[in-house]
């Protein structure tokens, strides 16, 4: 299994440009998440999904959109990039609670996408 | 709402010395607790987790943590650190009735010196 994969690894955007951060997982996990990581701030949840066709906002959703058309993929869309969106973005996935005792609520993270908006 | 506080943003320590990284949480319900490690330019990797049962949890790379409900703490310890333990460590909490939603602390950078 490749686990959770993210593309691209690094991207520079100009203010106002748009882009999609890709995330895929091959573990058949129902739950998927997008976080952003800013220095000294830990990880903040942007959006999450509990299954195909179902998404919901996290703590910091403004300026972002997501979709979940399949179990495997969970892309994050930035429509009008702003300098405040400069960050490292992590995608994660986890199995349904209680259905995988050995995984026990664990989230599995991708390697991250570093985004710089200038 | 739950919150997680990691009291130390940086912890410098010499190689082979013991280390403790502190984590306190607040929640009104039962919780699951996690420690993740992030090596430079990599994603987060699970170190250990507490779901229920024994309050002393052992993880990978010789780390362990103890859940203390009365003090709402989940401190991470290692008796002897190596240079390779240099990384950022994140404590996280999930409320038992909230699916898999994690709330992260701000992180602690462990710097192991030779």
Question: Is the CB of B43 less than 8 angstroms away from the CB of A97?
Answer: no
pLDDT in tens, A29-75: 999 999 999 977 789 999 999 999 999 999 999 999 999 999 999 99
Q: What is the reported pLDDT for A104?
A: 55
Residues of B in contact with A38 (CB under 8 A): none
% of chain A beyond a pLDDT of 70: 92
Bridge-based pairing of strands A10-13 and A113-117 is parallel
Question: Does residue A84 carry a pLDDT above 90?
Answer: yes
Tokens representing B62?
A: 């010789």
Residues of B in contact with A104 (CB under 8 A): 32, 49, 51
Question: Is the CB of B99 less than 8 angstroms away from the CB of A111?
Answer: no
Question: Does residue A100 carry a pLDDT above 60?
Answer: no
Tokens representing B67?
A: 């859940």
Of A97 and B14, more confident: B14
Q: Using an 8 Å Cβ cutoff, are B112 and B21 in contact? A: no
Q: What is the reported pLDDT for A85?
A: 96
> Which phi and psi angles does A74 have, rounded to 5°?
-150, 75
> What is the arithmetic mean of pLDDT over B90-104?
78
Q: Using an 8 Å Cβ cutoff, are A35 and B36 in contact? A: no
| Residue from A88, A92, A87 nearest A105 by CA | A92
Question: Does residue B80 carry a pLDDT above 80?
Answer: yes
pLDDT in tens, B53-76: 888 999 999 999 999 999 999 999
Which band of pLDDT confidence, cut at 50, 70 and 90, is reported for residue B96?
A: low
Kindly identify which residue of chain A lies nearest to residue B107, measuring between CA atoms.
A42
Q: What is the reported pLDDT for B43?
A: 87
Which band of pLDDT confidence, cut at 50, 70 and 90, is reported for residue B11?
A: very high
User: In sequence order, what E strands does B2-86 have?
Assistant: 3-5, 10-14, 19-21, 24-26, 31-38, 44-50, 56-58, 64-68, 73-78
| Residue from B105, B65, B46, B58 nearest A93 by CA | B46
Q: What is the reported pLDDT for A97?
A: 67
Summary count for chain B: helices (H), strands (E): 0, 12
Q: What is the reported pLDDT for A103?
A: 52
User: Counting beta carbons within 10 angstroms of the beta carbon of residue B5, is it exposed (0 to 12), middle (13 to 18) or buried (19 or more)?
Assistant: middle
Question: Is the CB of B104 less than 8 angstroms away from the CB of A43?
Answer: yes
């Amino acid at each position: 299994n490749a686990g959770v994969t993210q593309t691209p690894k690094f991207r520079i955007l100009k203010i106002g440009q748009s882009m999609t951060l890709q995330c895929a997982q091959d573990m058949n996990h129902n739950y998927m998440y997008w976080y952003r990581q800013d220095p000294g701030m830990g990880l903040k949840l942007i959006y999450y999904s509990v299954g195909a066709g179902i998404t919901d906002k996290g703590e910091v959703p403004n300026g972002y959109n997501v979709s979940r058309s399949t179990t495997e993929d969970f892309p994050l869309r930035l429509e009008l990039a702003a300098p405040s969106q400069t960050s490292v973005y992590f995608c994660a996935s986890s199995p349904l609670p209680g259905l995988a005792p050995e995984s026990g609520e664990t989230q599995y993270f991708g390697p991250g996408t570093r985004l710089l908006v200038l | 709402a739950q919150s997680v506080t990691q009291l130390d943003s940086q912890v410098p320590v010499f190689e082979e010395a013991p280390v403790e990284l502190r984590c306190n949480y607040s929640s009104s319900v039962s919780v699951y607790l996690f420690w993740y490690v992030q090596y430079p330019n990599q994603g987060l990797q699970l170190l250990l987790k507490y779901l229920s049962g024994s309050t002393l949890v052992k993880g990978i790379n010789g780390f362990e943590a103890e859940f203390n409900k009365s003090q709402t703490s989940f401190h991470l310890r290692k008796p002897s650190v190596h240079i390779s333990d240099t990384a950022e460590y994140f404590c996280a909490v999930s409320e038992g009735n909230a699916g898999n939603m994690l709330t992260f602390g701000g992180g602690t950078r462990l710097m192991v010196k030779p």
